[in-house]
Structure 1
Amino acid sequence: MADAAVRLKRLLEQLLGVPLPVRIRAWDGSQAGPPGAPILVVHNRRAVRRLLFKPGELGLARAWVAGDLDIEGDLYTALDLLAGLVWERGEDARSLAQTLRDPEARAAVRGLLRLGGLPLPPAPPPEEVRRPGHLHTKRTDKRAISHHYDVGNDFYEIVLGPSMVYSCAYWPDPDSTLETAQRDKLDLVCRKLGVRPGLRLLDVGCGWGSMAVHAAREYGVSVVGITLSQEQAAYARKRVADEGLTDKVEIRVQDYRDVGDGPYDAISSIGMAEHVGADRYLEYADVLHRLLKPGGRLLNHQIARRPQRDESSYEVDEFIDAYVFPDGELQPVGSTVAQLERAGFEVRDVESIREHYALTLRRWVAHLEADWARAVTLTSIGRARVWRLYMAASALAFERNRIGVNQVLAVRTPESGDSGMPLRARKWSETQSR
């Protein structure tokens, strides 16, 4: 009799101590769990072994990327339900990883071992990155950036749409187009920085050139954009040429630590600082401070995590680190502000746009799902599954306030104390582009 789903459900509930909120369909066709709930499809016994040999988030991620696990029904609902078991069980409840290591749970573990078949650890999917640690040298940073961004410009065009902006958009309302929201975000950055003709802007982590093109075309500023990705740089240079802006915009493959032609009047860093690393953040802030003229402004747009009571216990997200952003590290916004001020900046404004990123990510997921077959052809089935999972899970993380995103505006205020900021700085909320 086909009963793998029943046995799997019973053993998992025995380990976790709570009912499973999703329905299970196992490799033998059997089903168990609440009717009408999203279905966790366990395609093979290997999925069980992955969970046993790497309990918790990474084991589940490996099973997902390899296609051993799937979800039928609403992806966001399923992830939200599973998050309560894997990531958010609270201070008084054990995580799945802790439970599977508990001596009292050995009977259930033995049952899962029998259900999973041969007790051999499956090899990780080829999309998983192996690295020596969070070194954040120029060499390791370049390799990490290449892993994430050199997936293929055609793939990113599917996900990001025509704007080719890979950071949080700024939505006038939820029903706006992604292109409108991304244009509004770039315009907001330009207004906060106060760029105008005759000024020089350094765009750190320029991506596919969207900020550089917008600032040069709409505000007449001269821009140097830097990235560590060869594919991004080639794409950005073509965009600059197509826009007729080669006299205004230069795109370089360059580490921010190697920029030597300052000072600049303004610096934008949009979605780049997450790659810097906690141990290197003061160095990052020092470099940008040195590259700015006195009175120059920095706009630092960065994802932040929630602070913990015991910061020493913070651990990097295993799935994100292994499959998405190798060596990426999130810091609380307070830590970012403190490090910028230690470097000599005067922080003038902090704006949280957390809900905007959730809207952005849901649009990206919809783009990927709508052109799934082509996305798989351009990369691999595993890579496409990585992106779908991480973007959907990230959307929920922003919606549930597990992570946030902030624009921090800082000034290299001169000794005279004249910051050059208007008395009512938030007039930038009004559209002022030419």
Structure 2
Amino acid sequence: MVINRSQPDSLQPDHPALGDRHTVDLADCIHELPDGERYLYQLFSLIEVGDLTVTNPQGKVFHFGQVGSDLPLHLIIHNSGTCDRLLAFGTLGFCEAYMDGWWDEENNNLVELIGLFYRSNVYAKARDRVTLALALKIIAQRLRTVPILIQNSRKNVQHHYDLGNDFYQQFLDPTLTYSCGYQLQETDSLEQMQRQKYELICRKLALQPGESLIDIGCGWGGMLIYAAEHYGISGTGITLSEPQATLARERIEQKGLSDRLKIVIADYREVQGQYDKFVSIGMFEHVGKGSFATFMQKSFQLLTPNGIGLLHTIATQSNERNGAWVDKYIFPGGYAPQLHELTQELWAAKLSVAHCENLKPHYAETMKRWAENFTTNWTTITALDPRYDERFFRMWYLYLQSFEASFRYGGLHVYQLLFYKGKQWQLHVPMSFSV
């Protein structure tokens, strides 16, 4: 798979041939470089672990980190405007430059390139130098997408999840599960990982035949279908995406489960009733900090006395909850919680935590498989809709690769928090398994 296909001449100004490139000692020319390029190299000079080579548009080659390490990386800057974008808008500008084809890693290995920055804490140090223009841009974007209002939540969901069922079918597994899988063996397929994740959740919830289950943020109904087929439950799935709901209903009907499962298009705040068990997988990241308490209180209300729930969500150790680029292009209005915020709000809602598990490395492996499927099926994807052009491809490739790097090397985690309503917790079936 080649990311850097032919670009317009305007994106590659007088970039020299390979033979015309020459290595330069940064110290000899640092004061002669434009402000943006000098700023970029100052950040790269913070690299302590790894081997990075940078070739600028004029063919000058610079080395950073430990030359000769096991995995050398090569950043090729095609357009000098890349550095200006970085200087003006931080990682937002740098990522937009990638979308426009202004830079590449020679072998398209964005996971390890981003991982190199994580290992040397470059991102955290760069955030200390955020410009006023970037700060104002971030604030403006957050105000447009903050999901306190239900209409904002709908818009945010539509931005990402209404790209089309046929689009997601090209890189997800047959269960159409768009959340972290659970790997038991290195050879596990993506579908095996997702089914193992569902099995893990079912065991944690101690599902029993005839019980009722509500799934907040049900996607295409994978969890409900699995639980109904293997544990005999009835259930309701809640989603804000009409395309998801339509396909979820079709899949439920094909499985002969329409008498036990239903899908409702609604915001979680609009849901009524009570259920024996509660689950929410990969949805809480879209709730927004201002609604953490509301979500937990609604979870309490939806559970019967002594009911059990499980919250599966991405969380972060960083003070930056959703980067400006991710907020603008991938998940508008998203806000990754920190673990202590989850436990505090559960406690405040009178829900007690029974078990907590971190699936961080499992999500890195899930992202890796999604990216492989995405690139393998790109030709098919481009035929689906004119929107899926080269810039869209690079945007999604960067999203998948950067999130894999964040789970593998950075501060992103994914937790499963098992909680219960009431004052007594009874030990039941094993909450984990192996093969």
Partner of 1:18: 45
Does structure 1 retain, via aligned residues, the 8 Å contact 2:219–2:239?
A: yes
Does structure 2 retain, via aligned residues, the 8 Å contact 1:4–1:26?
A: no
Alpha-carbon distance change, 358 to 317 in structure 1, aligned in 2, over 3 angstroms: same
**The residue matched to 2:431 in structure 1 has which SS?**
helix
Structure 1: distance between partners of 2:318 and 2:106: 34
Matches within 5 A, 1:124-139: 132-139=144-151
The offset of 1:80, in angstroms, is: 2.1
Alpha-carbon distance change, 398 to 431 in structure 1, aligned in 2, over 3 angstroms: closer
Structure 2: distance between partners of 1:271 and 1:130: 20
Equivalent residue letter for 1:223 = G
Whether 2:107 is the aligned partner of 1:77: answer no
The root-mean-square deviation of aligned C-alpha atoms, in Å, is 3.0
Does structure 2 retain, via aligned residues, the 8 Å contact 1:15–1:100?
A: no
The offset of 1:365, in angstroms, is: 1.1
Partner of 1:385: 394
Which one of the candidate residues 54, 57, 61 is aligned to 1:32? 61
Whether 2:321 is the aligned partner of 1:287: answer no
Q: Deviations over 1:121-174 (max 9, x none)?
A: 9xx9xxxx7862524211000000110111121221122121211111111122
Whether 2:86 is the aligned partner of 1:51: answer yes
The offset of 1:300, in angstroms, is: 0.3
TM-score computed with the length of structure 1 as normaliser = 0.81
Does structure 2 retain, via aligned residues, the 8 Å contact 1:375–1:384?
A: no
Structure 2: distance between partners of 1:153 and 1:31: 45
Q: Deviations over 1:221-240 (max 9, x none)?
A: 11110100111111111111
Which one of the candidate residues 408, 428, 431 is aligned to 2:431? 428
Structure 2: distance between partners of 1:182 and 1:200: 22
Does structure 1 retain, via aligned residues, the 8 Å contact 2:110–2:402?
A: no
**The residue matched to 2:337 in structure 1 has which SS?**
coil
Q: Deviations over 1:57-98 (max 9, x none)?
A: 10111111222222222332222234467x6356xxx52772
Does structure 1 retain, via aligned residues, the 8 Å contact 2:322–2:335?
A: yes
Whether 2:384 is the aligned partner of 1:375: answer no
Structure 1: distance between partners of 2:434 and 2:44: 54
Alpha-carbon distance change, 418 to 100 in structure 1, aligned in 2, over 3 angstroms: closer
The offset of 1:357, in angstroms, is: 0.9
Alpha-carbon distance change, 96 to 204 in structure 1, aligned in 2, over 3 angstroms: closer
Structure 2: distance between partners of 1:426 and 1:88: 44
**The residue matched to 1:265 in structure 2 has which SS?**
strand
Structure 2: distance between partners of 1:70 and 1:39: 8
Structure 1: distance between partners of 2:408 and 2:335: 20
**The residue matched to 1:245 in structure 2 has which SS?**
coil
In structure 1, stretches of 5+ residues that fail to align are 102-120, 309-313
Equivalent residue letter for 2:77 = V
Whether 2:256 is the aligned partner of 1:244: answer yes
Alpha-carbon distance change, 363 to 14 in structure 1, aligned in 2, over 3 angstroms: closer
Partner of 1:301: 312
Structure 2: distance between partners of 1:26 and 1:431: 50
**The residue matched to 1:98 in structure 2 has which SS?**
coil
Alpha-carbon distance change, 276 to 130 in structure 1, aligned in 2, over 3 angstroms: closer
**The residue matched to 2:277 in structure 1 has which SS?**
strand
Which one of the candidate residues 404, 419, 430 is aligned to 1:410? 419
Does structure 2 retain, via aligned residues, the 8 Å contact 1:15–1:99?
A: no
The offset of 1:26, in angstroms, is: 4.5
Structure 2: distance between partners of 1:346 and 1:96: 36
Alpha-carbon distance change, 239 to 267 in structure 1, aligned in 2, over 3 angstroms: same
Equivalent residue letter for 2:274 = P
Structure 2: distance between partners of 1:148 and 1:131: 18
Partner of 2:201: 189
Q: Deviations over 1:388-419 (max 9, x none)?
A: 21221111221225111111111111xxx333
Alpha-carbon distance change, 223 to 52 in structure 1, aligned in 2, over 3 angstroms: same
Aligned residues: 390
Q: Deviations over 1:244-297 (max 9, x none)?
A: 11111101111111112x111111100111111111111111011001100111
Alpha-carbon distance change, 13 to 394 in structure 1, aligned in 2, over 3 angstroms: closer
Matches within 5 A, 1:57-72: 57-72=91-106
Matches within 5 A, 1:228-243: 228-243=240-255
Alpha-carbon distance change, 347 to 10 in structure 1, aligned in 2, over 3 angstroms: closer
Equivalent residue letter for 2:219 = G
The offset of 1:216, in angstroms, is: 1.1
Equivalent residue letter for 1:79 = I
Equivalent residue letter for 1:65 = M
Equivalent residue letter for 1:265 = D
Partner of 2:180: 168
Partner of 1:365: 371
The offset of 1:430, in angstroms, is: 3.7
Which one of the candidate residues 259, 262, 266 is aligned to 2:271? 259
Which one of the candidate residues 332, 336, 354 is aligned to 2:338? 332
Matches within 5 A, 1:128-167: 132-167=144-179
Does structure 2 retain, via aligned residues, the 8 Å contact 1:202–1:225?
A: yes
Provide the identity percentage.
Answer: 32
Does structure 1 retain, via aligned residues, the 8 Å contact 2:205–2:308?
A: yes
In structure 2, stretches of 5+ residues that fail to align are 1-13, 25-32
Whether 2:101 is the aligned partner of 1:95: answer no
Q: Which moved more, 1:365-374 or 1:175-184?
A: 365-374
Structure 1: distance between partners of 2:78 and 2:416: 43
**The residue matched to 1:95 in structure 2 has which SS?**
helix
